[in-house]
Amino acid sequence: MERQANIGHWDEVAWRRIDRGELQGERRRLGPHVGTSEVGLSRYRLGPGERAMPAHVHADEEELFFVLAGAGLAWLDGVTHELRAGDGIVHRANAEAHTWVAGPEGIDVLAFGEGSRTHMTYLPRAQAWWMGPRWMPADGPNPFVLEAAAGPLELPPEPSPRPATIRNVDELPVEAETKGRYGWHMRDLGRGTGSVTSGLRHDDDGVGFWDSRSGADQVTRSDHLRQHARVRPIEQLDAAYTERTKALLFVSPDNPSGSVSSPEMVKAVGEWALDKGVWVITDEIYEHLTYGDHQFVSMPTVVPELANQCIIVNGVAKTYAMTGWRVGWMIGPDDIIKASTNFQSHATSNVANVSQRAALAAVSGSLDDVAMMRTAFARRAQTMYTMLNAIDGVTCLEPQGAFYAYPDLTGLLNRPIDGVTATNTLELADLVLDKAKVAFVPGEAFGLGGYGRFSFALGDDDLAEGMARFAALVG
């Protein structure tokens, strides 16, 4: 049986060399490979004396590390502690600044981060704040550059006794746990090292992660990585909600990421809006463009009680390739539709008759052509996804819907490309357009620098040519 997209072997992820002055080592970004967008999961392999990360402390993100092999030093606010295989280390949010250095035999480390809401990080050696997700340049200077400017890291001659936040798996008792007719034995490194938001567990099968906030079970075994990464929309909505909140804008499939919200997420968001008395404006323009096992769900169909405070907007621009015609429709309560119609009649001259007739023919006819286009889009999505991930410095999640890929391009920043160095994706987009005649939308347009939106709504040959030009320029 073919494995799901959220199951992957770490050998399927290429090692990426970190070579930034004093910061050296290799990294495999495992999280994106198995489809998580919030949880960070990486494997680091460092040679003797190497260090891959600047000394840093996160404002609101707890991190956990597990030493798979080798030995080294954990650097915590200028104090060092010995590390060996089997050690778990927790770095709590807004606590001590940290990094780690490989010993004479090197070190192999699995790193887990729960995700940050603010993306704020303090770099004590540079005495600078930096904002950007997971060392991805967004706002402010690159942390690797700041760390290099701070000079070599001075290590104390003798390691200090280990704190309670560093424990070896063999130091912890074996605990028996059962759920119904299932049971297992494990050692809980998360609780043992003082974790407050996440857990790090060890059992006979390998190392496991448990995110206590979401109930998502992420298990790392010797033969595979599996993550059930669940976005926690309700917590995020609660944090953003105020008494002045009137409406929620919701879109799935999504522009720019191409992600599709699960039926469970759609229902949870709808029930939250219903409970809060918040109107929902849901954009369903990509409803027919989903791929693989992903499915579109209209929010009022899973939360029928929401119908009286929900507005659905849709159109023919995407599915029916009538981009630019600005023909669409809206579904909602009678009084809202009447008010909107009245407003539009005063604000616009309405749509040309020929456009209306063409749109009517499209939506009232067979969906056979739509199915054909969806098949073509799915094929092109795989082509773009494969070609982007083959480029060193680029990581892309598999598109689930719409017709966009949204790769992480931070590995292309702050390095010379054809004699020009881009420090952000705005500059990178200009560079690629000028040098390769390939256009993409920089992530800054969507509030997330370091990423870029690539459209696969074009012919197969043109897509392959564009990706080949892009790869030749930046590779």
Average pLDDT of the residues of the chain: 83
Three state DSSP letters for 238-266: HHHCCCCCCEEEEECCCCCCCCCCCHHHH
Q: 25 has which bridge partners?
A: 18
The pLDDT, as a whole number, for residue 460 is 93
| Topology agreement, domain 7-169 and domain 370-474 | no
The pLDDT, as a whole number, for residue 4 is 55
The pLDDT, as a whole number, for residue 149 is 85
The pLDDT, as a whole number, for residue 194 is 72
Select from 1.10.600.10, 3.30.70.1230, 3.40.640.10, 3.40.50.300 the CATH code of 233-364.
Answer: 3.40.640.10
Cα–Cα distance between 130 and 38 in angstroms, integer? 19
Count of residues in the chain: 475
Q: In terms of Cα–Cα distance, which of 213, 216, 180, 212 is closest to 199?
A: 212
Which pair of structure tokens corresponds to residue 67? 């030493």
Cis peptide before 253 (omega within 30 of 0): yes
The pLDDT, as a whole number, for residue 228 is 27
Cα–Cα distance between 76 and 159 in angstroms, integer? 11
The pLDDT, as a whole number, for residue 225 is 23
Long-range CB pairs of 66-70 (<8 Å, 24+ gap) are 66/109, 66/110, 66/112, 66/189, 66/200, 66/207, 67/107, 67/108, 67/109, 68/43, 68/108, 68/109, 68/110, 69/107, 69/108, 70/46, 70/102, 70/103, 70/105, 70/106, 70/107, 70/108
Note the CATH number of domain 7-169.
Answer: 2.60.120.10
Q: 64 has which bridge partners?
A: 90, 112
Which pair of structure tokens corresponds to residue 361? 């023919």
The pLDDT, as a whole number, for residue 237 is 87
Cβ neighbours, 10 Å, residue 6:
15
Cα–Cα distance between 426 and 440 in angstroms, integer? 10
Which pair of structure tokens corresponds to residue 373? 């286009």
**66 sits in which H/E element:** strand 63-76
Per the CB < 8 A criterion, the answer to whether 259 and 247 are in contact is: no
Which amino acid belongs to residue 56? Answer: H
Which superfamily does CATH assign the domain made up of 370-474 to? Aspartate Aminotransferase, domain 1 (3.90.1150.10)
Positions of the chain with pLDDT lower than 70, given as ranges:
1-6, 36-38, 133-140, 174-186, 196-232
Cα–Cα distance between 232 and 245 in angstroms, integer? 19
Q: Degrees (nearest 5) of the Cα angle 117, 123, 124?
A: 130
Per the CB < 8 A criterion, the answer to whether 12 and 224 are in contact is: no
Cis peptide before 233 (omega within 30 of 0): no
Residue ranges of the domains in the chain? 7-169, 233-364, 370-474
Per the CB < 8 A criterion, the answer to whether 101 and 109 are in contact is: no
DSSP state of 308: G
Q: Degrees (nearest 5) of the Cα angle 255, 243, 308?
A: 65
The pLDDT, as a whole number, for residue 109 is 94
Cα–Cα distance between 447 and 232 in angstroms, integer? 20
Q: 87 has which bridge partners?
A: 168
Q: Degrees (nearest 5) of the Cα angle 286, 233, 244?
A: 95
